[in-house]
Amino acid sequence: MSLRHGLLGLLAEGPASGYDLAGRFQEVLGMVWPAQHPKIYAELGKLADDGLIEVDSVGARGRKAYRITPDGLAEVRRWLTSTEVDHTMRLQALLRSVFFWLMPPDDLRRHLAAEETYYRQTADFYRQIAAAKDRGDYGDSPPTQAIRIAAEAGIRLHQALADWAEWAQTAPLSSDEDSD
């Protein structure tokens, strides 16, 4: 139930509406934990039922901001420190790589080159976030420092994948193109 705790974690920074949280998931967490608004609104309702968050204010345009409760803060801390990390890595790119031998060599080279470009660009995107944080563009509050650490992971992960895609282009792989 990571979405639940992701929501609690974001609300620990301060009150926010479902709309705000959907935006934050899009920009900050979009690449590591996608979440669409239908799921977010539903989960906010459940969190409120469980007393982990409560309505902070109702503003213009029906805007309903939630605030984390002491129970909610305790719950997100319990999750962070007392639960096992789920190390599942569901990467479609890696699943595909197991079947590279089914691709015509030219298609595979093109594919790997495109992947390399994508990963380098994404690594650069995270580098820009990291540079902005290091310049102090967003202050240096604890949440900002944590995002800097997350961005570092984004950089290293995508850099590793870019280097892998480059390496794979040189790796020997006889195709099985003729066998159908």
Contacts (Cβ under 8 Å, ≥6 apart) of 57: 15, 64, 65
Angle separating helix axes 37-49 and 18-27, nearest 10 degrees: 130
The answer to whether residue 92 forms part of the interface with DNA (CB under 7 A) is no
The token duo for 27 is 């920009």
Q: Identify the burial level of 168 via C-beta atoms within 10 angstroms of its C-beta, where 0-12 means exposed, 13-18 middle and 19 or more buried.
A: middle
Instruction: Kindly identify the residues of this chain, within the stretch 47-76, that bind DNA according to CB under 7 A.
Output: 59-65
CA distances (Å), origin 89, targets 79, 95, 106: 19, 11, 28
Cα–Cα nearest to 50, from 28, 72, 31, 32: 72
The answer to whether residue 4 forms part of the interface with DNA (CB under 7 A) is yes
The answer to whether residue 83 forms part of the interface with DNA (CB under 7 A) is no
Instruction: Kindly identify the residues of this chain, within the stretch 23-82, that bind its own copies according to CB under 8 A.
Output: 28-29, 31-34, 70, 73-74, 76-77, 80-81
- Residue 168's binding partner, choosing from its own copies, DNA, none, with beta-carbon cut-off 5 to 8 A by kind? its own copies
Chain residues that interact with its own copies, rule: CB under 8 A: 2, 5-6, 9, 12, 28-29, 31-34, 70, 73-74, 76-77, 80-81, 85-104, 107, 111, 115, 118, 122, 142-143, 145-150, 152-154, 156-157, 159-161, 163-164, 167-168, 171-176, 180
Chain residues that interact with DNA, rule: CB under 7 A: 1-4, 17-20, 22, 34-39, 41-42, 44-45, 59-65, 88
